[in-house]
């Protein structure tokens, strides 16, 4: 069986590459999907429909287009990895966890111990919480074992 994994979360570090490379080294039967990792492209996705003068409407249109992509890819995934970084508040990532919960889609959270308390509900609905990408690779190795 080939698994499809959606990588959701912060875009300011190399965590996606670490997971993908670790799984490729183990030759795991996994296809990876991901959000748009170009912050500017994501923020400006709504410009496809025309530029806006007001920040609210610019963000509103961009958010809708980004959710269209995100929700579609989460629905295609067998498992979702949700990464919360340290630098920014990632409300959109918490929203992805909510989508997973609503769709009964299994997910794993990835974040530091400092975020345990603010993410307690998100972690409670997850099937695992990891603090580093090597733990994620080991979980995926175990999950894909024949």
| Secondary structure tally for the chain: helices H, strands E | 6, 5
Q: Between the CA atoms of 53, 55, 57 and 61, what dihedral angle is there, to the nearest 10 degrees? A: 110
What pLDDT shows up at residue 1?
A: 85
Task: State residue 21's pLDDT score.
Answer: 98
pLDDT of residue 110: 97
Low-confidence residues of the chain: pLDDT under 70: 88-89
Q: What is the reported pLDDT for 29?
A: 98
**CATH classification code of 3-143:** 3.40.50.450
pLDDT digit string (tens) for 102-134?
999 999 999 999 999 999 999 999 999 999 999
Q: What angle do CA 36, 104, 107 make, to 5 degrees?
A: 50
**pLDDT the model gives residue 11:** 84
The pLDDT of residue 61 is 95
- pLDDT value at position 53? 92
pLDDT at 16: 96
**Domain definitions of the chain by residue range:** 3-143
């Amino acid at each position: 069986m080939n698994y499809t994994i959606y990588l959701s979360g912060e875009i300011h570090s190399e965590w996606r590459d670490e997971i993908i490379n670790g799984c490729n080294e183990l030759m795991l039967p996994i296809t990876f999907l991901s959000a748009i990792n170009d912050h500017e492209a994501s923020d400006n996705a709504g410009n496809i429909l025309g530029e806006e003068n007001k920040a609210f409407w610019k963000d509103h249109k961009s958010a809708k287009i980004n959710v269209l992509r995100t929700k579609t890819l989460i629905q295609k995934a067998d498992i979702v990895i949700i990464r919360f970084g340290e630098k920014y508040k990632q409300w959109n990532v918490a929203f992805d966890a909510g989508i997973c919960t609503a769709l009964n889609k299994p997910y794993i959270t990835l974040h530091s111990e400092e975020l345990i308390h603010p993410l307690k509900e998100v972690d409670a609905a997850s099937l695992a919480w990891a603090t580093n990408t090597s733990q994620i690779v080991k979980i995926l190795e175990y999950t894909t074992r024949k």
